């Protein structure tokens, strides 16, 4: 399991995951706002 506090490598990977998830969530919210 990914533990961002165990090593820098895992923390870096966690950062990339957060970036992707944030981009997807923001994209969905903006798309929903534009359509409604």
Partner 1 sequence: MEAASHAEHHHGPPLANVSSRVEAQFLGMLLFIISEVMLFGAFFTAYFFIRVVADSGWFPVNDVDLPRAIAGVNTAILISSSFTMHWALEGARNENRNALRVGLLTTALLGLTFLTIQINEYVHLGFAPHDHAQGTIFYGLTGLHGAHVFVGLTLLTFATVRAFRGHFTAKEHRGVEVPGIYWHFVDVMWIVVYSTVYIL
Q: Is 8 in the site for partner 1 (CB under 8 A)?
A: yes
Q: Is 24 in the site for partner 1 (CB under 8 A)?
A: no
Residue number with CB closer to partner 1 (12 or 34): 12
DSSP 30: H
Instruction: Spell out the residues 6+ positions from residue 4 whose beta carbon is closer than 8 angstroms to its own.
Output: 10, 11, 13, 14, 15
Q: Is 28 in the site for partner 1 (CB under 8 A)?
A: no
Residue number with CB closer to partner 1 (9 or 36): 9
Q: Footprint of partner 1 on this chain (CB under 8 A)?
A: 4-9, 11-12, 14-15, 18-19, 22, 25-26, 29-30
């Amino acid at each position: 399991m990914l533990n961002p506090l165990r090593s820098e490598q895992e923390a870096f990977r966690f950062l990339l995951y957060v970036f992707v998830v944030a981009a997807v969530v923001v994209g969905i919210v903006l798309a929903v706002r534009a359509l409604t």
